[in-house]
Structure 1
Amino acid sequence: MPKTVPSSHDNPETSSTRRTVLALLSLLFLPWSLQVFAAGDATFLFAWGLVNTNPLSVTTLPDFLFVYTRGLPEYILAWPLSVAFYAAAVASAAVGWRVDREDPRVTGGLLVLVGIAQLRLAWGFSLQPGRIAWPIGTVAVLAVAWWYYWPRVRTMRRS
């Protein structure tokens, strides 16, 4: 009888599952950073863009990068960098789920880089007078990395 190799659908310890990919994609709906201003206004920064509360407006990441970036501080570049790391992590997880070819150290490491970049962004915003930024994305991304990838990395280290 031929020996069958389990796919990621059979063994979630080898590659990402559909649940893992959905957990990563759910991060698109969570603000990665919440900036609160002394006047009570707020800006919600997502992977895809930002939402201002006063006036209520939406700016997509491409518009922000190619229209509004002239003269902005360097710490803001952590935002598109974190989105690039995030896109690579989602791609890695999707390949792991569909093709069963994934190194959880790579996907998990990319998520950690997303978290670090978002923490840098929130820290840079918080240094501005009359503003504080909460790194919601850092906490969420690191939680996903810890929950879905750290056990698999630990298992790899033992074998």
Structure 2
Amino acid sequence: MTSDTPERADGLHTGAIRRRRRITLLLVSVLGLVPWSVQTFSTGTTALLFPWGLVSPSTLSVTTITDFLFHLTMGLPDFILAWPLGVVCFLVSLGSALSGYLFGRSDVRITVAGLVLAGVTQLEVARGFSVQPNRTAWPVGTVFLWAVASYLYWSYTDASEV
């Protein structure tokens, strides 16, 4: 039985490569929709830090990252600046995955490195928030970012395949 899909020298079919690139883009994209930091307060309220903004479910308020960067940065502690730095790292990963999907040209090492670095920045955000009184921050984004990075790293045998 033969396949109609052309096979590369490394044994992968072009259909499998396209599917792998689609999965990579999907996984990286989903990371933009999950909270990167969950902050709990002694009052029982919660705040969710996403790559695109800060959500306070109890008040149903949203502060976008653009509002944060251009309107609210006066007097904020330095550790919070790790948040937009992490977003830049994430956008590098997303761009890499999108390039692989659209043009077939990408390097999984760039995608993985951006995710790992974004995860590191969220550890700093959580650490900074957790030392404040009456607040604990959970770096759940670090877990998700590193889980996807690990999956991508170990699932590709050739770094130029993304």
| TM-score, normalised via structure 2 length | 0.84
Counterpart for residue 131 of structure 1 = 135
Misfit runs of 4+, over 6 Å: none
Counterpart for residue 28 of structure 2 = 24
Q: Any stretches of 5+ residues in structure 1 without a counterpart?
A: none
Contact 2:82 2:122 in 1 (8 A): yes
1:44 is the counterpart of 2:48: yes
Separation of aligned partners in 1, 2:59 and 2:13 = 47
Q: Deviations over 1:63-92 (max 9, x none)?
A: 011111100000000100000111110000
| TM-score, normalised via structure 1 length | 0.86
State how many pairs are aligned. 151
SS at match of 2:61: strand
Counterpart for residue 3 of structure 2 = none
Separation of aligned partners in 2, 1:54 and 1:156 = 46
1:65 is the counterpart of 2:69: yes
Cα 1:8/1:82, change in 2 over 3 Å: farther
Cα 1:8/1:118, change in 2 over 3 Å: farther
SS at match of 1:10: helix
- RMSD between aligned alpha carbons? 2.2
Counterpart for residue 110 of structure 1 = 114
Q: Using the TM superposition, give the Cα deviation of residue 8 of structure 1 relative to its aligned residue in structure 2, in angstroms.
A: 8.6
